[in-house]
Each structure stands twice: as C-alpha cells, then as structure tokens.
Amino acid sequence: MHIVITNDDGIDAPGIHALAKAARRFGKVTVIAPDQNRSVSGHGKAIGRPLRLDPRDFPEADAAWATDGSPSDCAAFAGLGFTDEPVDILLSGINPTPNLGSDLTYSGTVMAAMEGSLWGVPAAAFSIDCARMNQNLIDFSAIEELLPIVIKQLTAFKEFWNPVLNVNIPALPWKEIRGIKLTHCGRRTYKDVLVRNKDPFGRPYYWFGGDPPESIPDEGTDGKALADGYVSITPIHQDLTEYHLLKLMETQEWRKDPENE
Ligand code: MN
C-alpha cells in the first residue's frame, strides 16, 4: 500500500511525524507537506504561479518533499501523479487543535483530505484536541492504535464515491479514551473580535482573534463525542447543499419575473 501524508502545520510539525510513523507499517509512506505553517488556509490552491518541491530528510517516511504550496496543493500532487507509484490513501495531520463542525472549511488539514478525494484518493484528516498546548508536548501515541481501525474502514468503503473521514482525537493516552463514536458535524460558536491598533509608524492595522471556538454539545455531534472523551469520526463530502432548506424553498414559488407572469 502506498500512503501519502500531508498536513497544514508544515513538514517540521510533530504531528506529521507521528502520523507517518504510525502509517509506515502499512506500506510505503511518501510525505508531501508545506514548508511552513499553513493553518487555516482552507481549500486554497496555487493558481498562476509555479510550485517547488524540495526533498527533505524525514526519518519516518520512505520519501519526503516540502513545497511552497498549500495543503491542498500537496494533496493535488498526490492525486495528479507526482509520485511514480499510484497513491492508495491520503492522510492529513495530525493537527494540534480539533477540526469540528463549521471549522471544516477553514481547515487546511481537512481540505487537503477533501482535495485528495476530488482526485479519487480515499482520505482521512486527523486532529487532536490540544488547543494552545506546546506542540512538542502533545502525546500523539493514540494514533498508533487508531490508524489501523481508520485505514480498515477507508479501505472497506473505497468503492463509495470519494470517502473522506474527519477524525478528532481526545488528548488522552489510548487506554483512557472511552471509545470511537461515528458523528455528524455540530455547531460551533466563534469568539473572534476585531482588534484595531496602530503600528510603530502610526498606521492602523486590524487583527482578528480571540479565545478558541466552542462546540454546542448537541447529541450525535463531533464536538459532543470529543468532549465526552471519545474519538469522533465523521464521514464528510463536498456537497454543501442545505437539503432541509432546499425542500422548504421548493414549496415556494420562484418565478424569474413575477411582475410579468
Ligand atoms: Mn494546523
């Protein structure tokens, strides 16, 4: 099996090394990752400029490349034949903060997995619930036990169109994790504020920021499972349609030119 691994935190982040180490027992591992932190870059791609790929030493992989592109660019390299060997699975992460509910479109980690699936590569994104902890102090060891389970399921459903699994892991050793819950995306409340200030030259600048978002703990959601000490696994796809609203809207009249009809 050939597994490509990417992330949005950059090729030197501890999480991608932990993921590659866990993946290697399943076959050949190629790392293609951004050369620096590209968190919260969503599904951004490089258009209108060339990309570079530089070989890197990466003890946990068979080959590794760093690029000045985005996480989704890395996934596109995997899906569009940069590696001579076909890619069986794309894994993204491990992100040091959770990616839940409405976070997903912000997330470079999750959107890289989505990009992989666009090119027919089954993909999973991994995040661990360690907001604001020093990344070097995070215990990523649960991935060793969890990855075989996720890969087995990804393989089982690979005939399904574009499987993408969004996996969130509690910041606990494997034996303290209560289990695995299959979930749907929940709601998040964001605490960003607009900060206005002046730079040393007197020019105004603006900065969005604040406390980390919080999950509304509705039953069956990713945020509730994670808060309860479970691994949350959500199957996701590209279809952003709001089906409930679509159904309601279809009961209304939508005439192009109501005045003249
Ligand atoms: Mn990140």
Q: How far is the CA of 101 from the centre of ligand 1 (A)?
A: 16
CA of 108 to the centre of ligand 1 (A): 7
CA 181 – ligand 1 centroid, Å: 23
Beta bridge partners of 95: 127
* Ligand 1 centre distance from Cα of residue 38 (Å): 7
Is the per-residue pLDDT at 233 higher than 90?
A: yes
Average pLDDT, the chain: 94
pLDDT, position 162: 76
Distance 248 CA to ligand 1 centre (A): 37
Identify the weakest region by mean pLDDT among 14-18, 131-135, 242-246, 251-255.
131-135
- 41 CA distance to ligand 1 middle (Å): 9
Task: Give the model's pLDDT for residue 260.
Answer: 67
Q: What's the pLDDT band for 30 if we cut at 50, 70, 90?
A: very high
Contact residues for 40 (Cβ-Cβ < 8 A; gap 6+)? 8, 106, 107, 108
Q: How far is the CA of 255 from the centre of ligand 1 (A)?
A: 45
**44 Cα to the center of ligand 1, angstroms:** 14
CA of 85 to the centre of ligand 1 (A): 28
Whether pLDDT at 253 is above 80: yes
Better-scored residue on pLDDT, 261 or 105: 105
Q: How far is Cα 124 from Cα 103, in angstroms, rounded to an integer? A: 16
- Provide CB contacts within 8 A for 259, sequence distance 6+: none
How far away, in angstroms, is 102 Cα from ligand 1 center?
Answer: 15
The yes-or-no verdict on residue 160 having pLDDT over 70 is: yes
Q: What's residue 140's pLDDT?
A: 94
Closest C-alpha among 17, 31, 21 to residue 63? 31
d(CA 179, CA 167): 13
From ligand 1's centre to the CA of 88, what distance in Å?
24
Q: Range with the lowest mean pLDDT among 13-17, 36-40, 156-160?
A: 156-160
Distance 182 CA to ligand 1 centre (A): 23
DSSP for the chain reads -EEEEE-SS-TTSHHHHHHHHHHGGGSEEEEEEESS--TT-TT----SS---EEE---TTSSEEEEESS-HHHHHHHHHTTSSSSPP-EEEEEEESS---GGGTTT-HHHHHHHHHHHTT--EEEEEE--TTS-GGG---THHHHHHHHHHHHHHHTTTSSS-EEEEEE-SS-GGG--EEEE-B---EE---EEEEEE-TTS-EEEEEE-SPPEE---TTBHHHHHHTTEEEEEEE-S----HHHHHHHTTS---S-GGG-
Give percent above pLDDT 90 in the chain. Answer: 87
Q: Which two tokens stand for residue 4?
A: 């490509």
pTM: 0.94
String of DSSP letters for 209-246: E-SPPEE---TTBHHHHHHTTEEEEEEE-S----HHHH
- Enumerate residues 6+ apart whose C-beta is below 8 A from 165: 113, 123, 124, 125, 150, 153, 154, 233, 234, 235, 236
pLDDT at 100: 97
Q: What is the pLDDT at residue 61?
A: 98
**CA 256 – ligand 1 centroid, Å:** 44
The pLDDT assigned to 261 comes to: 60
Output the CA 10–ligand 1 centroid distance in Å.
8
Mean of pLDDT values over 134-138:
82
* Location of structure tokens 């030259």: 201
Q: Which amino acid is at 95?
A: N
Tell me how far the alpha carbon of residue 110 lies from the centroid of ligand 1, in angstroms: 10
Contact 38, 71 (CB under 8 A): yes
